[in-house]
Amino acid sequence: LDPVSVIGRKRDGGELSTPQIDAVVAGFTAGTVAPEQMSALAMAILWRGMTRREIADWTAAMIASGTRMDLSGLCRDGRALATVDKHSTGGVGDKITLPLTPLIASYGLAVPQLSGRGLGHTGGTLDKLEAIPGWSAEVSPDALREQLERVGAVICAASADLAPADRKLYALRDVTGTVASIPMIAASIMSKKIAEGTGALVLDVKVGSGAFMTEYDDAHELAATMTELGADAGVATSALLTDMSSPLGRSAGNALEVTEALEVLAGGGPADVVELTLALARAMLAAVGRDDVDPAEHLTGGQGMDTWRAMIAAQGGDPAAPLPQAAHREVIVARDSGYLSGLDALAVGHAAWELGAGRSVPGAAVSAGAGVTWHAGIGDAVQAGAPLLTLHADDPARFAAARARLADAVTVSTNRPAVAASRVLGR
């Protein structure tokens, strides 16, 4: 393989053949295609795009760079267990995986939720759960099967051998301005989800300022591309498009979001988090032929919470332990009276990151207690001088940078804004 000719072909708008894609992805994984060559190819793909066939080949090559897990044959009490998973393209305050995974498992299904850590302004599910004393993200393949059969719910770190080409390529895209490519995002997400071995998958594709896709049409194209990739690989895949122009729920931060997830599992919690949890739960249940049940019943009935406790305990966590809190708080009050008509998701995500909830380099430590809580949702009345946001940090020196990020994040209007009835924008 001559990587330069492959780069040149894509640069000039040509279509790459299956052998070219296989060779370039395998070569990059093995180290014979240099990072600067892969960066150039990623930029050419970002500008020129890929055909559906190229995207499918690119996805298959990334799956083939590692091990494809086999979750077939799972059973409990002699009955086969269906597997179903959810993936969100990432948003600010998006803690839905936490209540959703045990909720679905409480219906006798297996949910293999292989997750990542956060980088930049969106939080990582594993970082959130690591706020729970004792909890470990590391689960071996044998322990994963055992926990799926016994508890049904597992949220854990993906093994290094799951689509390693994607891991390497994503790190490169992150530092070369080449993340925002629909073909590469679709292939990146779906290679990991197909390699994970789930039988069915529901995608939560976010749209708005806090998401990769700020425009609905782009998010729709991403959803359609991923749904087709899933179907081609034998994974029953469906997608919801959901609003991420304002952050989800009332908090962004690790322990803060676990607290909110526990409220939902206890039958309460913010209305938008409950709505999205139930919308995704219904789609997951429908994907495995269980549309006979109403998932709201296992939130109010406590079965989701029971499965949460079993899931946390199975990974060494103490579900009854108090969660860590940040040492310092600072309150931001409303400047004007009126109605909250805007709270910018990206700004809130950046503020939480400045406070210590996220990381800027892979592997860095995060603060369990740090983050942002907001005391009003879109459309709520606010009073000048009343608390609007609370900042939480272990180090008070972080407050200034977070305040700066939030300077233009809040819009208060004199008239009550039209509030969308639902976060679900489309399917």
Q: Does 188 bind ligand URA (CB under 6 A)?
A: yes
Residues in 397-416 that interact with ligand URA by CB under 6 A: none
CA distances from 258 to 152, 216, 323, 377 (A): 20, 29, 8, 19
Q: Does 203 bind ligand URA (CB under 6 A)?
A: no
Q: Are strands 328-333 and 236-243 parallel, antiparallel or unpaired?
A: unpaired
Closest CA to 372 of 227, 283, 250, 262: 250
Alpha carbon distance 269, 28 (integer Å): 45
Alpha carbon distance 252, 372 (integer Å): 5
Question: Which of 69, 189, 222, 279: binder of ligand URA (CB under 6 A)?
Answer: 189
Question: Which of 185, 201, 213, 412: binder of ligand URA (CB under 6 A)?
Answer: 185
Q: Cβ distance 211 to 219 under 8 Å? A: yes
Question: Which of 170, 339, 353, 374: binder of ligand URA (CB under 6 A)?
Answer: 170
Q: Cβ distance 382 to 410 under 8 Å? A: no
Torsion sign (Cα): 204, 207, 210, 215: positive
- Comparison of 166 and 260: residue with beta carbon closer to ligand URA: 166
Alpha carbon distance 356, 191 (integer Å): 31
Site string for ligand URA, 77-116 (x = CB under 6 A): ------------x---------------------------
- Comparison of 25 and 189: residue with beta carbon closer to ligand URA: 189
Q: Cβ distance 337 to 412 under 8 Å? A: yes
**Closest residue to ligand URA using C-beta atoms:** 188
Which one of 127, 166, 204, 272 is the catalytic residue? 166
Query: In angstroms, what is the minimal distance from the CB of 9 to ligand URA?
Result: 23
Q: Cβ distance 195 to 163 under 8 Å? A: yes
Q: Which stretch binds ligand URA (CB under 6 A): 123-131, 136-144, 178-186, 333-341?
A: 178-186
Which one of 65, 85, 86, 87 is the catalytic residue? 87
Total residues in contact with ligand URA, by rule CB under 6 A: 7
**DSSP symbol at 241:** E
Site string for ligand URA, 60-79 (x = CB under 6 A): --------------------
Longest Cα separation, the chain: 66
Whole-angstrom distance between the N-terminal and C-terminal Cα of the chain? 41
Q: Does 244 bind ligand URA (CB under 6 A)?
A: no
Q: Is 328 a catalytic residue?
A: no
- Comparison of 94 and 412: residue with beta carbon closer to ligand URA: 94
Q: Is 413 a catalytic residue?
A: no
Which one of 117, 128, 167, 173 is the catalytic residue? 173
SS3 91: coil
The residues annotated as belonging to the active site are 87, 166, 173, 188, 192
Residues in touch with ligand URA (CB under 6 A): 89, 170, 179, 184-185, 188-189
